[in-house]
Chain A
Amino acid sequence: GNSVTQMEGPVTLSEEAFLTINCTYTATGYPSLFWYVQYPGEGLQLLLKATKADDKGSNKGFEATYRKETTSFHLEKGSVQVSDSAVYFCALSAASGGSYIPTFGRGTSLIVHP
């Protein structure tokens, strides 16, 4: 079946530090890949996405590149801010028994200190 594995948190960084959150996946067929973010007290919202190999999704200074050869979609940001503190979910959408149902990782909590 389809699955997503992402690094466990919490990840604690100082403001302006470099961020990497690792995400690897297993999927049948050719998945689309997503990162969602959940800010405190809010619902999940899409951060970025990529739909084919070597595509780079980017938004709000975050980037992730679809690496088919390593089945990875790592999230990066060059300089984090306190406002980036949130839980980040890696997700994929691929065929599973005839349906395309988004599969999510467990989430990685990011805490950014001033």
Chain B
Amino acid sequence: GENVEQHPSTLSVQEGDSAVIKCTYSDSASNYFPWYKQELGKRPQLIIDIRSNVGEKKDQRIAVTLNKTAKHFSLHITETQPEDSAVYFCAVPRGWGGADGLTFGKGTHLIIQP
């Protein structure tokens, strides 16, 4: 089955600095790459996603980059703020287009230091 490796498991950055989280996957047929944010005690929520026909997507302070050759994709958060503190999960679809659910990375606990 699909394997997803996510690094780092914990990331502490100063408020205002940038944070980068990276995921690698094994199935070269994967074509959809979402990132979820889960705040303490809350449900995971999609924050950004990218499809395999583009290399980068941005949404305000958040961006995702995809390298299909190397089979990795990364989440970039710029100008970090206290409300960015959460656990972030990458995921890849288990089947074409995610028809069979998602395989998640183990998560990255992002800590924003004041």
- Bound pair: A and B? no
